[in-house]
Amino acid sequence: MNRKRITASRLKKGLSAVLMIFGFSSVFAQQTVTLKQAIEYALQNKTDALKAKLEVTNADYKIAEAKAGALPKINGTANLTYNPIIQEIVLAGQTFKMGQPWVAIAGVQLQQALFNQQVFIGLKAAKSTKEFYQLNADLTDEQIIERVSNAYFQVFTVEQNQETLESSYASTEKVRNVIKSLFDNGLAKKIDLDRTNVNLTNIETNIKQTKNGVTQAKNALKFYMGMPIEKDIQLVKEDMEITPHLLENTLSADNRTEVKVLLKNKELLEYNKKATEAAYYPTINLTANYNWQGMGEKFPLVNGSSKGVMWSDYSAIGLGINIPIFNGFATKSKVQQAQIDLDKINLDIQETKLSLDLAYQNAKSQIENSLSTLENQKANVTLAEDVLANTRSNYQYGLATLTDLLDAENSLVQAKNNYTNAILDYKIAEVQYYKSKGELKTYLK
């Protein structure tokens, strides 16, 4: 008996452990994701963000490459030559050979740029290059934040539409049950029951379509986050709460990352022009070499003077100056092309500032309009609920037709959807507003 009790006790503990495991699995199968968590996940996992970070890292190597132009270059050389036929010359009736069958040379060469304007400008531009890639990474982050936020809001909107339809289905089903009871007792028409069933079927079809829309919207959100599509997530409704903001009347476009990127690009183009103009300047290089040479009738690498192979060393140090005089106006043409690039980016900056100001004013106007619309739609939902309640009561007492009841139900659904869409419009306008101010990262992160 004791053994049976012990076995039963162990079995119960085992079953409890299994149930706990399955219980925890079901709890954690669906992950709750806030808007902030979705954004942080995207910035850490989305391919665009990862590539932008790699570009910033790659900028360090480009800086090192630019610095290499100012550092000395040292090369080792080795050469082995066999001359099967040696040229001969005749002097004073005597024949002299102009070399040896075997020649071996090994040496080291050094070259150092003492003055090269292009190298010096490249060093100055190197730091700006990294800043440019960092700004590009910031711009990529802002674009990711915008896409994830809008996708997040879209999921909420479709989910709200689904809840509205499900609520409408439950309400209509209650009406159908009342009509069926009246019909069974000979107090209602069959056409009323049929019309109600048709309406229920239509609502059920819309619910199925909306559920599919929720799935697609979530998949889009997970794609923008860089999250596996098969992962199940649940959003937080608190992120859709409306918090009116104090709207400013002026905008400084220079705070926008898009403008900062263009300004930094302009700086790089100015360096490019200076580097092109540097072709007018002379260059000065220091060169030095040291070599060890062996010549003789035999293979020199394993033989010395005792075998007729003579070894000797030699070295040279030189200072070279290259002064450009005329190259067919090639440098002048390149400088003019560099100036055209600067003129074009100045126009781009001007156009970008104008478009950002337009986006700011539109976003501000949309927020103000959305707030007004939200108030109206919220009041409209309350009114539609009152109308439906009154119509339902009147229908039960024969003071309203079924058409009136169904119309009131559809009006409530439409009012709720309009309110949900107004929330979506506000949240999207809110994102655009802070984006136009250059504060999107600080606001949503």
Same domain membership, residue 273 and residue 397: yes
Residue 187 lies in a domain: no
Output the domain CATH number for residue 432.
1.20.1600.10
Residue 89 lies in a domain: yes
**What's the pLDDT score for residue 207?**
95
Same domain membership, residue 18 and residue 153: yes
Q: Is the pLDDT of residue 179 over 80?
A: yes
Residue pLDDT, tens place only, 275-322: 999 999 999 999 999 999 999 989 998 888 888 899 999 999 999 999
Q: Is the pLDDT of residue 152 over 90?
A: yes
* Boundary of a domain, candidates 300, 323, 346: 323
Same domain membership, residue 395 and residue 313: no
Same domain membership, residue 219 and residue 144: yes
Tokens 């996992």 — which residue?
45
d(CA 238, CA 416): 18
Q: Is the pLDDT of residue 246 over 70?
A: no
**What's the pLDDT score for residue 98?**
84
**What's the pLDDT score for residue 19?**
39
Residue pLDDT, tens place only, 263-285: 999 999 999 999 999 999 999 99
Burial of 327 from C-beta contacts in 10 A (0-12 / 13-18 / 19+): exposed
Same domain membership, residue 317 and residue 240: no
> Is the distance from CB of 370 to CB of 405 less than 8 angstroms?
no
Same domain membership, residue 341 and residue 220: yes
* Boundary of a domain, candidates 323, 352, 376: 323
Q: Is the pLDDT of residue 16 over 90?
A: no
Same domain membership, residue 21 and residue 92: no
Residue 1 lies in a domain: no
Same domain membership, residue 139 and residue 34: yes
Q: What is the mean pLDDT of the chain?
A: 87
Residue pLDDT, tens place only, 157-174: 999 999 999 999 998 998
Total domain count, the chain: 2
Residue 217 lies in a domain: yes
Same domain membership, residue 317 and residue 331: no
Structural domain boundaries enclosing 106: 73-115+283-323
Same domain membership, residue 239 and residue 220: yes
Residue 15's pLDDT band, with cuts at 50, 70 and 90, is very low
Mean predicted confidence (pLDDT) in 177-206:
90
Residue 1's pLDDT band, with cuts at 50, 70 and 90, is very low
Same domain membership, residue 54 and residue 25: yes
pTM of the model: 0.78
**What's the pLDDT score for residue 124?**
86
**What's the pLDDT score for residue 147?**
94
Same domain membership, residue 294 and residue 340: no
